[in-house]
Amino acid sequence: MRKNNLYLLFIGLIITSIFSSCSEDSLVETMDNRECIEKKIAVVLPSRDGMQANWKRIFTLLDHNMQVAFGHCPAYVKFSYEFYDEENENLDELGNALANRDDIYAVIGGLYSENAEKLALRLVRGEKTFMTTATTEELVRAFASSGLLWAMTETDITQCEVLLSKVVNYGGKSVALIADDTNKYGKTFVDWFGFQALELGLTNKGIFNGEFEEAVSNAFDSGADYIICVPSVIDEIRTIVEKYNRTDCNSKLLFSDIGYGSDVVERLGSYSEGIEGVCFGADPETGFDISFRTYFGVEPTVGAAQLYDAGMLLAYSAWYQHLHDDVSLTGALRSIVDGRDFNMGSWMGEDMRNVVDALSAGKSPYVRGASGWLDFDSKVYTNVLASVYYNYKVYDGHYIILDYNTADGGNRTDATLAGWNWKASQQQEFSDGSNIQYGPLKENKALLVAASSEWKNYRHQADVLSIYQLLKEHGYSDEDIILIAEDDIANNPLNPTPGEIRVKPMGENVYKDVRIDYKLSDISPNDFINILKGKMTSATPKVIEGDENTNIFIFWSGHGMPNSLVWNEYQYLRTGDLASTLCEMAEERRYRKLAFFTEACYSGSVFEKCTGNKGMIFFTAANPFETSKADMFSPEMGIWMSNRFTSTFLESVSFQSVIPLHDLYNRLFISTVGSHVMVYNAENFGNLHTSTMDEFINP
């Protein structure tokens, strides 16, 4: 959204006139002898390139305004700070130490997502409030239910949306992405780019996330109108710019928020000239950026407005607790951000005084900060619901703001978790297929594969075991089920409830009475193919022995890559091998109908090439360019417990096993957030309105 420059100039003149006599040294003055409500705040942020001086300026400004806010009260809130360098601390140890210190009121920090996640895991376990500017969607979703994580911006889901919206606004038709999905920061962009590009009507020319320089070269060769650049570190911006200047690439570049900040220009020098992108920042109507420059003579760095607001909310909460001594910090924060009585201004000292007076009078003011309205979702209070993004560009060694943007959220049903609830709208249409005829159904077989191992991949085994229990409940015998799983989760040393596996907290134990036929590490993708083809070997004595009267149900949960399903991390079931196997099964009439459900990233890229055989239907959690999304995080265990595609499948089929396949597709499509559930080979299967899951679930 574009703001009027005259309006901003007017705001700047007012602020300049008020604070022209202030200096950094004179902002904080000594309070009198009234009752002091002193709270210690731990600040964990990077210190290099003069960044710590920037953070201290933010809190110096906050301290000054707190003095104004409480200057007339019988008591006052005062903060002291402990600063830690997030890049040079052992964050596991620091997080545990801060969580266990009663004198630490709250922790602010975690500029970088990897670091924020380490801190969050320890702080949440220790029930310590953590306010952060890190914005990966997994961080936010993982700790949403705790009530202790307060993210001061929307997630990077929204930043990705804003970047792609800029492409649309600029008239671009195609996009590519450079990002590293092994890094928490880049992973959100990789996870959501393909999904959002499709929803916004853009052609996806590729997600390039391998070896960095090779990824950059491949992106430049993609022919995309625009390339979204999400480097993991500042020095990678130099690599992109250098290579761009040496090639005849006609694509235009847009950078994420890592391209914004005084440290970027300082480190890159001339290589920063001309870079353009988006970064979360202050709402221009609040005048925060102008006043910061007035106070200190320097530009605010990335996250300055959000960090100020974090401290301001803690100040209000400390005062609220002083007025209501039976309220926790979490309860106080929620009461503050829930206020809707009236607008008390913004973030400056007099505005803060109005809020303090309103709280003292038992009122609930509508709080606005430097970054804008401080609205948090009313379910979990994890994220600010709306953020302002600068459309920045480096010109003559300085940042200029070309525009201010917000996400319209047009495809989100609500703002819970600040961007997570994007609902897919590009549904498939299916042909009738009613002329396809089948012989009688005489038996059912099932093949279930949990294609990963280790505690970190808990959800894959949990999901497959939940499908196993579903089949057993509907009458399958173990003789008709082949279950492949590593079986290293139930009795893992990290499992707080040995012998138990669940897909949600307090859920049923899906490990009960399980009979596993093959450990994943004992067989290979080729053995899986032999099992599917009914070929007995010394490694595969139990196989699918089907014929033209046998319905086969297959469920696979694991990791995926373009054109392959990952088998225990280092092996792969390739598209070509699977496609040829399915063709052979069709030629030999080894099944009547076959339904293959796959929970894996990029799974559409595998099954779009497996079409053409009568009686086969493939459901995938994602299209060829998308990742699938985990669903339920356990902070206590530090793992994701389930996947959204699988949990929706279980809910749908458990409720109605005779559900038509078309209705099942609709439910999966609507409820599976962040990817487009796909169906392949429907034209060779039959009418999806009359074909039901009952044929596969009930033997």
User: Count of CB atoms within 10 A of residue 475's CB?
Assistant: 11
pLDDT of residue 266: 85
C-alpha span between 672 and 599 (Å, rounded): 11
For residues 633 and 641, give the distance between their C-alpha atoms in angstroms, rounded to a whole number: 6
With a cut of 80, say whether residue 305 has pLDDT above it: yes
Q: How confident is the model at residue 409 (pLDDT cuts 50, 70, 90)?
A: very low
List Cβ neighbours of 243 (8 Å cut-off, separation of 6 or more). 213, 216, 217, 220
Tokens of 22: 């202030």
Q: Label residue 13 by pLDDT band (50, 70, 90).
A: very low
Q: What are the pLDDT digits (tens) for 631-642?
A: 888 888 989 999
Active site residues: 559, 601
User: In angstroms, rounded to a whole number, what is the distance separating the alpha carbons of residues 72 and 556?
Assistant: 65
As a whole number of Å, the end-to-end CA separation of the chain is 58
Lowest mean pLDDT among 11-20, 38-47, 273-282: 11-20
Mean pLDDT in the chain? 90
Per the listing, tokens 């003559």 go with 396
Res. 222: pLDDT tops 60: yes
Tell me the average pLDDT across 527-556. Answer: 97
Condensed to tens digits (0 to 9), the pLDDT of residues 361-389 reads 999 999 999 999 998 877 777 778 888 99
The rounded distance, in Å, linking the Cα atoms of 608 and 611 is 6
SS3 438: coil
* Three-class secondary structure assignment of 578-623: HHHHHHHHHHCCCCCEEEEEEECCCHHHHHCCCCCCCCEEEEECCC
Q: Say what the pLDDT of residue 427 is.
A: 87
Query: 3-state DSSP call for residue 543?
Result: coil
pLDDT band for 181, please (50, 70, 90 cuts).
confident
List of residues 6+ apart from 681 with CB closer than 8 A: 607, 610, 611, 612, 613, 616, 617, 618
pLDDT in tens, 107-132: 999 998 889 999 999 999 999 999 99
Whole-number Cα distances in Å, 664 to 17, 86, 588, 649, 661:
64, 47, 29, 8, 5
Per-residue HEC secondary structure of 73-98 comes to CCEEEEEEEEEEECCCCCHHHHHHHH
pLDDT at 257: 92
> Is the pLDDT higher at 332 or at 51?
332
Q: What is the pLDDT, as a whole number, of residue 33? A: 81
Candidates 355, 335, 337; CA nearest to 345 is: 355
In order of 2, 158, 279, the CA distances from 276 in angstroms are 17, 18, 10
Per-residue HEC secondary structure of 304-352 comes to HHHHHHHHHHHHHHHHHHHHCCCCCHHHHHHHHHCCCCCECCCCCHHHH
Lowest mean pLDDT among 251-265, 354-368, 426-440, 465-479: 426-440
| pLDDT tens digits for range 471-506 | 999 999 999 999 999 999 999 999 999 999 999 888
Is 3 a residue whose pLDDT tops 60? no
Q: pLDDT class for 8, splitting at 50, 70, 90?
A: very low
| pLDDT class of 16 with cuts at 50, 70, 90 | very low
32 vs 5, more confident: 32
Least confident among 163-167, 458-462, 542-546, 657-661: 657-661
Name the percent of the chain lying above pLDDT 90. 73
Picking from 317, 314, 293, the residue whose alpha carbon sits closest to that of residue 304 is 293
Sorted by where each starts, the structural domains of the chain and their CATH numbers stand as 5-153+283-385 (3.40.50.2300), 156-259 (3.40.50.2300), 443-697 (3.40.50.1460)
* DSSP class of 376: B
Find, among 502, 507, 511, 498, the residue nearest to 468 by Cα: 511
Pairing of strands 481-484, 398-405: unpaired
**Predicted pLDDT of residue 408:** 54
Question: How many whole angstroms separate alpha carbon 343 and alpha carbon 246?
Answer: 53
Percent of the chain with pLDDT over 70: 92
